[in-house]
Amino acid sequence: MRKFLLFTLVVVLCFFTGALLFASEEKEQLIVYHWWTAGGEKEAIDAVFKIFNEKYPNIEIVENPVAGGGGGVMRGQIKTMVMAGESPDTFQLTYGTGMLASFAEVLEPIDEVWEGLPFPQLIKDMGTVNGRKVSIPLNMMRCNCLWYNKKLVDKIGVKIPMKNFDEFFAACEKIKKAGYIPYAVGAGSGQQFWWALTVEQIIAGAPHGGPAYVDKMYTGKANPAKDPAIREALEFLKTIMERGYVNTDYSALTWDQASDLLMTNEAVFYQMGDWAKGHFTSAGWKPKVDFDYVTSPGTAGVFTLNLDGFSLCKGAPHKDAVMKWLKLVSSVEAETAFCPIKGATPPRLDAPIDMYDEISKDILKAFRDPSTKIVQCAFAGPPEAWLDVYGGVISKFVESRDIEQGIKDFADGYKKVFGK
């Protein structure tokens, strides 16, 4: 009997010891959703994941990339998951007043992550909803960038920069006569919202527009039915469409496929934020040699600002892991690993900039220049609904090119977003 009891005790101890060893070896998880799947941006987020894995080898990153630039597909998924009680731990979200307020119901405050961080006050304010911080930015981007194929510009003899719409149209006409696509656009595969970003840059450079009007528009204080800036923007779009300055397959291409038209020497200009630079460089194109940028026509001295951030999701199953992730995201180490590859710039004021190319240094210099007029972009300033509504409104207009109907649709869309 004694031998039997001793044997039983040994078996039980072995069982519990094995269970404890197994539990100690089992990794905690961090469930992350993001939309960085194109060249440049995928490599960038992988670099940050690598740092996290090295710091926390017992935390397994369960990565859920959802294709679709700007996160249009993923944003809807996140809200559905949270409401169904299947929250991820953290997710990428464009960072700004309107967008974050639109997601306030699914975000937990993360004020403790922000303590002592050297970010510009504007960026701190953009991450605050109802007096609490709800997101932390990883990178900063400029949206009013007009990219161009430098070799084609030199070959055709296009004058850079173009100060206004008339000079831009003259350049496009010269490019068209030389046998190239003047202005590449990609708004297909569910990415109609890129039209919303495009029209923002046009309004920012319109004679009656500008950054003050963009801010007014994104805060529900504009009157699109009567404001001349809206008519000017639609007339710009009508001109480039009717004169054949845009690639005919624009409704079939994604943003990165449209940018590829520059790299295949088919198109000259491309309107997109500076994440396009990361896409170019990941394909082997060299800044200032193969490509360059200027601010969109009429927007010299203006900076339409966009950032990407991560948040703590309500109901996150692994909160401790999320807090470790958010603290890494907010660090110089993460920004330095991510931003040069992505084509972006660091939001922290103490981040080193020696490793950035001349284009990124120029963009960062413009942001920190007190004379630059900074305004939140379409992914940040207005409510989330803006992207979907105006993706549809502008898509309809570029097909019909009816100015009066376009103004009416713009005004009707404004009521849908702001209720007035």
Ranges of each domain in the chain: 25-141+306-368, 145-304+377-418
Q: Is the pLDDT of residue 176 over 70?
A: yes
Q: Is the pLDDT of residue 135 over 80?
A: yes
Closest among 207, 214, 212, 258 to 236, alpha carbons compared? 207
CA distances from 245 to 168, 174, 239 (A): 11, 10, 8
- Give pLDDT, residue 161: 94
Q: Can you say whether the dihedral through the CA atoms of 244, 188, 91, 389 is positive or negative? A: positive
- Give pLDDT, residue 410: 98
Q: How far apart are the first and last CA of the chain?
A: 86
Mean pLDDT of all residues belonging to the chain = 92
Measured in whole angstroms, the distance separating CA 418 from the mean position of its chain's CA atoms is: 22
Instruction: Please give, one letter per residue, the 3-state secondary structure of 199-252.
Output: HHHHHHHCCCCCHHHHHHHHCCCCCCCCCHHHHHHHHHHHHHHHCCCECCCHHH
Architecture of the domain defined by 25-141+306-368: 3-Layer(aba) Sandwich (3.40)
Task: For the full predicted model, state whether its pTM sits above 0.75.
Answer: yes
Beta strands in 17-89 (DSSP E): 28-34, 59-65
Q: Is the pLDDT of residue 2 over 60?
A: no
The more confidently predicted of residues 343 and 157 is 157
Fold assignment, 145-304+377-418: D-Maltodextrin-Binding Protein; domain 2 (3.40.190)
pLDDT in tens, 6-60: 444 333 334 444 433 333 346 799 999 999 998 889 999 999 999 999 999 999 9
pLDDT in tens, 341-366: 999 999 999 999 999 999 999 999 99
Model confidence at 69, pLDDT cuts 50, 70, 90, reads: low
Same CATH fold assignment for domains 25-141+306-368 and 145-304+377-418: yes
CB 409 within 8 A of CB 233: no
Backbone dihedral angles phi then psi of residue 335, each to the nearest 5 degrees: -60, -40
Q: Is the pLDDT of residue 329 over 70?
A: yes
